[in-house]
Structure 1
Amino acid sequence: MKRIKYFFILWQGLACLASSGYGQMKTSLKSGQLSLIKSQSTNPGDNVHCGLQDRKGNLWFATTADGVFRYNGKTFTNFTTKNGLNSNGIFAIYEDKKGNIWFGTDKGICRFDGKTISPFSEANGNFINPFTKEQTTNIFVNSILEDKNGIFWFGSENGVYCYDGKAFTRFLDNPNLVNPTQFDPKLVLCMIEDKKGNIWFTTRTEGIYRFDGKTLFNYKPNNESWLRGLLEDKDGNIWIGRREKGVCRYDGKTFTNILQNGTFDLCTVNEITQDKKGNIWFATEGGVWHYNPRRAVEKIFQNISKKDDFRHHGTWFVLEDKSGNFWIGTRNTDLYRYDPRQADGKTFTRFSEK
């Protein structure tokens, strides 16, 4: 019986590899179901939207229709509404200073305390929408940030909200905020806190905002309103993802378009991250790009994902784990791992179902 089971698993793995047509793709199905399995999504536009590695070493991957997956290095555990989430559409994930994992969903926020996931509430476990105080929530949260003072920031379709550990407040209701032009950030997508303590957030309709702790500033580089990916690099520069125009960079004084002079300049940049070596990675609608300022000018930008590496080249995030692997989420709810240390440097492994 064991021998039959062994040959069935072996045949299953070989069949996946043979039918994939992905030159260097390796199957992740070995002696068990080790893949991220779609159980809810049917839309090819659904994606593995964001991820993180927690302090215990677990990898978390949030999807837009199948809840969130935790990977311990061997197997995936799927958390959905059956496990306490208020929605299976997850668009932000964040680990706070205490080790709690926060999830931004299309119906508000949830928190994992290490044991259970539950909608986050102010009122003794009875869920109250922290933004509207209504029982039924429909707030779409795209980004979460805990600043150096321990204040939580939530970027949503309805604007920016803050949580001080006791109560939620609308950012614009801060009585100490200097906002002479009456800016009203909406459709907030990404947020970061820079080394100087400025809070930055990109929006879908109003460009990028910066809050210096007192005054709110608005910028529209190239007169563009839709900006997304956001990163402060190790030198203190702010990188901003543009819609179908690549990226620009802010050095504290001016915004400069950083051009590849090719395909990258036509990409929508969804997320930007910097690896341990200082290289910058871009998750775009045209695959994953790598920026290495130490290379010759013509090779500064490289698309590491070739035609057959992904089933869909619409990528949403790149995450470097503690072992030096890079995890990539794409449309079709696909998850890949890229290991640059392979002999050919181009090996991708798919960790989602065929």
Structure 2
Amino acid sequence: MKYAYALCLLFVFYTSCKGQNKTNLPSDSVKSESQDVTTSYGPDRITRTIKQDRKGNIWMATFGGIFRYDGKSFTNVTDKVSPARFFSILEDRKGNFWFSTVGSGVYYYDGKTFQNFTTRDGLANNQVIDIYEDKTGTIWFGTLSGASRYDGKTFRNYRMNEGQNFTTKEKNDNDVNSIIEDKTGKFWIATRGDACLFDGKTVTVLTHDGQPFTNVRTIIEDKKGNIWLAGSDGLWRYDGRVFTNITRNFVGYVHEDRKGNIWTTSEASLGWILSRYDAKTLSSLKPMVTEINPNEGKMLFGILEDDKGNIWFGADGVYRYDGKTITDFKK
């Protein structure tokens, strides 16, 4: 490899005293589905994550609840369940949903009932930023106290910097923003501190130009197996040998569409922009980029391409871009 990894020891593994052997949640953590609130307009608060389920519905994690869009109307499925600010969404391989919150842990939703997992059940922290399902069906949660791994019965929690040989020692090093498992089975961990690679035994701090990647917000693997890192150091692509910088601007979210184009939400001189990097030029040092300023400089968040090729993105609500026009779904 043409870059250096700073080696360190395995994640510090710790077991939560509460809930480690639980297989069932307390009865007060299980809530029946309430009457849904359905409207013709979408959320009007911060929308962090947008996903499409296997039935074609669009789901949105917002600071005003979890919304589902069926192509005609929006339903706030958590309106009567929790007042929490929701951050992330996962539809697992069984078709069930996981919703993360800032302060209330995570909710499991089977389409009829909700179950709330918190620190009392073994979760590392009730502020959960990311949710990921690995190849074995294990669910991972990125929290403000490290990563939690849930096998369907118990939680196992990992901290990122407990006395380890990391470059930075800030108090938020344990904040885990994003987790993915690549095609080789290695886990890429994005934190507010140093980004790391975890092979199941050891942790490796990721570096560029001799410096660690810090405050990485999103990591994805594209169809060709390239790894993309987005955060305070900008947007970077790893091709298995070297890291290549695409932009130095802060990038919050990154997404690959079906044509192989890379989309980002990032900060620029005009404020926050939605960018599309052309798939045919990604191998060059300066890929062709189209920049869209859709929301008068306001902060932008998660990105989704739906099954019709439209690009959805979150901001102070949810927006859809069809390649020509942007639709605002707020009231």
Coarse TM-score class (shorter-chain normalised): 0.7 to 0.9
Deviation of 1:79 after TM superposition, in Å, equals 3.0
Residue 40 of structure 2 corresponds to which residue in structure 1? 34
CA contact (8 A) 2:130 2:178 kept: yes
Helix, strand or coil for the counterpart of 2:41? coil
Of structures 1 and 2, the one scoring higher in RCO (CA 8 A, sep 6+) is 2
Correspondence for 2:261 = 279
Q: TM-score, normalised by structure 2?
A: 0.77
Cα deviations by residue, 1:209-229 (Å, 9 ceiling, x for unpaired): 111122221124352421112
**Which secondary structure state, in structure 1, belongs to the residue aligned with residue 200 of structure 2?**
coil
- C-alpha distance in 2, partners of 1:197/1:180? 26
Instruction: Quote the offset at 1:291 in angstroms.
Output: 0.5
User: Considering only aligned residues, what root-mean-square deviation do their CA atoms show, in Å?
Assistant: 2.6
Q: 1:158 and 2:141 equivalent?
A: no
- Cross-structure match for 2:86: 90
Larger Rg: 1
- 2:226 aligns to what? 237
The runs of at least 4 consecutive aligned structure 1 residues that moved more than 4 Å come to: 179-185, 295-299
| Alignment partners' CA distance in 2, 1:98 and 1:204 | 31
Aligned CA distance change for structure 1 residues 254 and 109 (closer, same or farther; 3 Å)? same
Structure 1 residue runs without a partner (length 5+): 1-31, 39-45, 122-126, 133-137, 174-178, 260-264, 341-345
Q: Name the counterpart of 1:352.
A: 330
SS at match of 1:119: strand
Write the distance in 2 (CA, Å) between the matches of 1:221 and 1:79. 43
Matches within 5 A, 1:1-354: 33-38=39-44, 47-63=46-62, 65-80=63-78, 82-85=79-82, 87-106=83-102, 107-120=104-117, 128-131=120-123, 139-171=126-158, 181=164, 186-205=174-193, 207-222=194-209, 223=211, 224-243=213-232, 245-259=233-247, 265-266=248-249, 268-285=250-267, 286-295=272-281, 300-303=288-291, 305-306=292-293, 309-330=294-315, 333-340=316-323, 346-353=324-331
Q: CA deviation at 1:131?
A: 2.4
SS of the residue 2:280 aligns to: coil
Deviation at 1:34, TM superposition (A): 1.9
CA drift of 1:302 comes to 1.3
Q: Is the contact between residue 174 and residue 191 of structure 2 (CA under 8 Å) also seen in structure 1?
A: yes
SS of the aligned residue for 1:294 comes to helix
SS of structure 1 residue aligned to 2:302:
strand
Q: Which has the higher strand share?
A: 2
**Does structure 1 conserve the Cα–Cα contact (< 8 Å) formed by 2:246 and 2:287?**
no
3-state secondary structure, aligned to 1:315: coil
CA contact (8 A) 1:108 1:129 kept: no
Residues 75 and 165 of structure 1: CA distance in aligned 2, closer, same or farther (over 3 Å): same
Q: Per residue, is there more helix in 1 or in 2?
A: 1
